[in-house]
Amino acid sequence: MSEEKNEADAVKGRTLEELSVVVQDLVNTILEKRKKLAPQIVDLRTARNNAAVVEQEWEEKKSQYEYHKGMLMAEVNKLETEVNHLTDENRLSESLYHRLNCQLKIVNVQAQRVEDEKEYRAGSKVLDGQIRSYTHLFHSTTETLEQKSKSMQKRRRDIDEHHDYRLQQVEWFTSLKKIMQAKVAALQAGNTPGGPTRMLGPVSDAEMEMYGAAPRRPGGPGADVLTLPAM
């Protein structure tokens, strides 16, 4: 047991020595790497500090930019509101100007017409031929229009009163025309042209009514036949 223990302790000692050597190698390697990385770490810390300073400065500049942007946008909105208000006011002013200008021209024309009317009435000027003045022209035009209106009203009453009768007359003469055309066609088909006047036969009461004649009475005056000139 003692020998085995001594062997185990020896193995353990060799293992510890090997581990010690490995650890020492790792430490040396880490130290070498650290020595190599030390300048880079210093540069990184410096860059980090510079980045922090730049970021802080950027935040400050951004805050100032947002503030000035808000101020400028508020000013722009104010100016746009004023421009719109002035544009509307300018539009209203132009409309008022044109309206007043037109009214002024109308007043000037009316004033000139009054002066001309005075001269027309005084006899120093003549408007146009038989028209002595604007008053005369107005009354003459009014009378002409009244006469036309009365004439149109009279014509309308005449049309309203005789419309049915005249429409019936048109229908009668249209029917009469058709009858006469049929009789002429029958005459041309059944007789030789060039003879004396042909008798087309008695005219019926319906035909008499169609062209406005009263129906004949037995033994009374009236047309018994309807004659046409020879074809």
CB 210 within 8 A of CB 177: no
Quickly state the pLDDT bin for 125 (edges 50, 70, 90): low
Mean pLDDT of the chain: 79
Helices (H) and strands (E) in the chain, counts: 3, 2
Can you give the residue ranges of every domain in the chain?
A: 1-122, 134-227
Among the residue ranges 37-41, 76-80, 120-124, the one predicted with the least confidence is 120-124
pLDDT per residue over 137-161, tens digit each?
788 889 889 999 999 999 888 888 8
Alpha carbons 198 and 200: distance in angstroms, whole number: 6
Share of the chain above pLDDT 90, in %: 35
- In this model, does residue 220 exceed pLDDT 50? no
Higher pLDDT, 47 or 17: 47
Q: Identify the three-state secondary structure at position 201.
A: strand
| Phi–psi pair at 156, nearest 5 degrees | -65, -45
pTM attached to this predicted model: 0.36
Quickly state the pLDDT bin for 205 (edges 50, 70, 90): low
Alpha carbons 139 and 142: distance in angstroms, whole number: 5
| Residue 113 pLDDT | 83
What is the number of residues in the chain? Answer: 231
